[in-house]
Amino acid sequence: MTLNKIVVLDARTNADNNAAAIGKETDISSRNSRVKVLVIPTIEELVITKNIKEIVEKESKEQKS
């Protein structure tokens, strides 16, 4: 999503909610936000590592065939 689209949505966050959002799913929208701003924690490194493992295993099987 580009910054221009975020501005059009008029998404506004609450600083206190944002600071408390680390590691948990929560709504960080301010009262005057036109849309809900939700935090959904992820472990990107784990997802990337699993994807790489699958690719390497697939390539390895193909080379053995």
Per-residue pLDDT of the chain (65 residues; tens, 9 = 90+): 455 555 567 778 888 888 888 888 999 899 988 888 888 888 899 999 999 999 999 998 888 87
Q: What are phi and psi of 26, to 5 degrees?
A: -165, 165
The H or E element containing residue 44 is helix 44-64
Structure tokens at 15: 């600083």
Would you list the domain boundaries of the chain?
Answer: 3-64
Q: What's the whole-model pTM score? A: 0.51
Between CA 31 and CA 9 the distance in angstroms is: 14
Tell me the HSE value of 19 on the side-chain side, using a 13 A CA sphere.
3
